[in-house]
Amino acid sequence: MSALHAGVSAGGAVGRGTGGRKRPVAQRVGGSPDRARRNKKGRRVLCQGVAARYAFMKHWRLRFPVKVMSRVFDVSRSGFYAWLKRPPSCKRQSDERLKVAINVAHPRSRETYDVPRLQPELAAGGFAAGRDRIARLWRELGLRCRQKRKFKATTNSNHSLPVAENVLGQTFAPRAPNQGWVTDLTYLPTGEGCLYPALPRMDALY
């Protein structure tokens, strides 16, 4: 885009400086990283079709003269203004409807669904689309999945809470039935913290 600012081709053409001498683009364009990125993007647009060039011009028309961009991208100004008045294509309208559906489904999944998981949900709502198309619109919307932190359940013995008495005393060879029970302990997250239910295993009584 910095080449547009200088009024020359973004594809590496040269312009005339003072005295009619030609100067390379690199000498006329500053070394700003932001300008370099815009210049690179402009070169990519030159390799695309007319519609892509018009879209690029529409995005930058408040900053750069349409006359200059038309010359750089080798398109006519009349064609550009006619393209602006043209209604969106059926494909574009379909993409916009799908974008709305994606925007609705994303928060409904608590922002945890990626494209493969989102695809069947969209299809169930009447929006059948391939993964590549959904991924493209997903990127255009700037959406991201919220990464869930893995919860690692560990026993914390460093506390001041009362500890149950060890009545078993590590005696794992009882002399009579039903003197010891084996239990399973699990972690149950709640709004107030974790609960730790312990259930006896009926197949492991001794």
Instruction: With beta carbons less than 8 A apart as the criterion, state whether 101 and 93 touch.
Output: no
Burial class (CB in 10 A: 0-12, 13-18, 19+), 86: exposed
Nearest partner of 1 among 43, 48, 52, 33, judged by Cα: 43
φ, ψ of residue 127 to 5 degrees: the values are -115, 80
What pLDDT, on a 0 to 100 scale, did the predictor assign at position 12?
40
| Angle subtended at Cα 79 by Cα 74 and Cα 82, rounded to the nearest 5 degrees | 155
Name the region of 159 (left: φ>0; alpha: ψ -120 to 50; beta: rest): beta
Per-residue pLDDT of the chain (206 residues; tens, 9 = 90+): 445 554 444 444 434 444 545 444 444 444 455 555 555 555 666 666 888 888 889 989 999 999 999 999 999 999 999 989 988 888 888 999 999 999 899 888 888 888 999 999 999 989 999 999 999 998 888 888 877 666 666 666 777 878 778 777 777 777 777 777 777 878 787 878 788 888 777 655 54
Instruction: Report, in angstroms and rounded to the nearest whole number, the Rg of the chain calculated over CA atoms.
Output: 33
* Secondary structure of residue 141 in the 3-state scheme: helix
What pLDDT, on a 0 to 100 scale, did the predictor assign at position 146?
79
Cα separation, 151 vs 184, in Å, equals: 19
